[in-house]
Amino acid sequence: MHFTLRVWRQKNAQDTGHFEIYDIDGVSPDASFLEMLDVLNEKLIKQGREPVAFDHDCREGICGSCGMFINGRAHGPLRNITTCRLYMRHFRDGETITIEPFRAKSFPVIKDLVVDRSALDKIVQAGGYISVNTGSSPDANSIPVPKPAADLAFTYAACIGCGACVAACKNASAMLFTAAKVAHFAMLPQGQPERRQRVKRMVAQMDKEGFGHCTNTGACAVECPAKIPLTAIAQLQRDFIWANLSPDPHAASSS
């Protein structure tokens, strides 16, 4: 297969950046998108040119590091997928493919297609800890968790922090990411002692990092590789309102 690639090249966050055009031939339809970029970089290195910088790690759709904008969509033309699980057979032979970094104020470009997503880590860090008994191991059934709650908590916990929700949102909102982290613990008894302060701290950190506001377009859920549902945002909104209207019984002891 033959492709024309329009790739965003940018030296650092201060550089204005620009698109460069590359032609690539002999691409296997069974090659992943990242493998295609590997082939491109081998070609550039042989020509004595600077290879394209892009993030990757597990290449199994687990780590969430391979985020990039492909033909105007986060992770490419398919719904709920990571870039490493996108294959070249999903494109037409001879197609022109535009490849850009995630565009968001809170995701400054490090180089080319690599962006700094540490703002998401700071939101998680703001959530703090959960209180657990560090003594002897409790019996398996001593803390009953209803199966529907356990299943829903697992759904929210599946978030891989790739940032596609931010990139897909017209406001660059991190609401789906933050909601998944909040709702995960809201479903479980282990997350209850710090529940009020957790949601307030994480929402405050999300705003501090410069993410936009949620206007419920749903684009985030469409692109999310982990298929985090919009119900997570509803759960966050309920918890946030509850946390601000109800007194925190743990506030005095934690201060």
Q: In this predicted model, what pLDDT tens digit does every residue of 135-185 receive, in sequence order?
A: 777 676 677 788 999 999 999 999 999 999 999 999 999 999 999 999 999
The SS3 assignment for 26 reads: coil
State residue 249's pLDDT score: 60
Q: What domains are there in the chain, each with its CATH number?
A: 3-111 (3.10.20.30), 117-254 (1.10.1060.10)
The pair of three-digit structure tokens given for residue 150, joined into one six-digit string:
């356990």
Contact 58, 23 (CB under 8 A): no
Q: What is the mean pLDDT of each run of 10 residues along the chain (255 residues)?
A: 97 94 96 97 97 95 94 94 96 97 95 97 91 71 82 94 96 97 90 92 97 94 95 95 79 49
Q: What is the pLDDT of residue 126?
A: 95
* Helix (H) or strand (E) segment spanning residue 151: helix 147-157
Looking from the CA of 254 toward its CB, the CA atoms found within 13 Å total 14
What is the CB neighbour count within 10 angstroms for residue 23? 10
Q: Which amino acid is at 220?
A: C
Contact 165, 220 (CB under 8 A): yes
**pLDDT at residue 198 in the model:** 94
134 vs 13, 127, 175, CA distance in Å? 44, 20, 32
- pLDDT confidence of residue 248: 63
pLDDT value of residue 140: 65
Q: How many angstroms separate the CA atoms of 78 and 223, rounded?
A: 8
Per residue in 186-210, pLDDT (tens digit) is 998 888 889 999 999 999 999 999 9
Q: What is the per-residue pLDDT for 154? A: 94
Amino acid at 157: A
pTM score of the predicted model: 0.89
pLDDT at 254: 47
Residue among 172, 251, 175 nearest 206 (CA): 175
